[in-house]
Amino acid sequence: MTQRNKRIKLIALMGILILCLFLSLFAGRYPEFGFLSPVTLKGDPTARNIFYNLRIPRIILGLLLGMALGSSGLFFQTVFNNPLVDSSMLGVTQGASLGAAIGIVFFHSNPWIIQSLAIGLGMSGLFLSVVSARKIHYGGWTLRLILSGSVISALFGAGLSLLKVLADSRNQLHAIEFWLMGSLGFTIWQGLPLVIVITCVCLFILWKYRWRINLFALDSEVATSLGVRIQMEQMLLMTAAVFAVSATTSLSGIIGWIGLIVPHLSRRLFGSDTQYSLPGSMLIGAILILVCDNGVRILSPSEIPLGIITSFVGVIIFILLMGDKKK
């Protein structure tokens, strides 16, 4: 596949993403099922409020969330040389879930505290995994990181289960379960600017170093001989990937399967070269999130949590990919 063909595919994905953004902005159920016209937007205060204070923040978060999950999934699958991992491998998802649950149970569901704790404990998953990996004295660095990440994930999962037991079954437990299912339906401007800044900086770092990610899949001695400072550069990009996922997840809740499936779709289109497959993962991730969110927002009278839909779609795509003999 020539580089020209890869660029054409990236441009095509950008066109699809722009179409999805248009549908997300103007398609809906208010004031009736269909498209919101400029006349209605100008003359109806309720329509303007929905457009500016609900749809735009929701779309921004969905766009950033898809890009973060898609790019981080590709990064971790390349670094660990394992097609079945994503950011949850290092306890990021479980840490964010535990942080949100602590905010719900002990801080009366204060949105700022929930967001801060979700980001902080999500990042702590990476920190604790790295510290634990340095204490393991057998196996290579990647193997040690996977082992320690699994342990930290189990630890955070146990803490989350304990909080579910302690939570008020009438209100707090329901709030925890709904957060774990993931949704963009409660996205407002509050807390979003911080997420925008963090995620954009992290995505830029991943994009800037996209061509070097290929080298992380090589043997460490080979990569070092090519001038790659393995641990330092790996930690920089790993921190960026985890920070982006933690920041977006702090507002959306857990959105499953996107980080796992999107890298496979991107590699089908662009091959294993991360110079193209990483931007491709960002675009495909954003498209999938917006398409699924449009489905739950427009087609369903009562909004289904986004994480449920992405799980259904992810499983179907996974089965199709597994059944496809194309390599």
- 325 band by pLDDT with thresholds 50, 70 and 90: low
Closest CA to 87 of 162, 137, 145: 145
Rounded Cα distance, 186 and 150, in Å: 31
Coil, helix or strand for 82? coil
Q: 24, 293 in Cβ contact below 8 A? A: yes
Quote the mean pLDDT of the chain.
89
Q: Looking at residue 211, what is its pLDDT? A: 84
Rounded Cα distance, 284 and 71, in Å: 10
Rounded Cα distance, 173 and 164, in Å: 6
Task: Give the mean pLDDT of 143-161.
Answer: 92
Rounded Cα distance, 74 and 59, in Å: 23
Q: End-to-end alpha-carbon separation of the chain, Å?
A: 14
Q: 156, 125 in Cβ contact below 8 A? A: yes
Q: Looking at residue 215, what is its pLDDT? A: 77
Task: Give the mean pLDDT of 256-266.
Answer: 94
- Give yes or no for a cis peptide into 31 (omega within 30° of 0): yes
Sign of the C-alpha dihedral computed for residues 188, 190, 191 and 194 taken in this order: positive
Overall pTM > 0.75: yes
Reported as half-sphere exposure (CB side, CA atoms, 13 A), residue 51 has a value of: 19
| CB proximity list for 251: less than 8 A, separation 6 or greater | 61, 115, 187, 191, 192, 195
Q: Looking at residue 130, what is its pLDDT? A: 87
Q: 120, 186 in Cβ contact below 8 A? A: no
Q: What domains lie within the chain, and their CATH numbers?
A: 3-323 (1.10.3470.10)
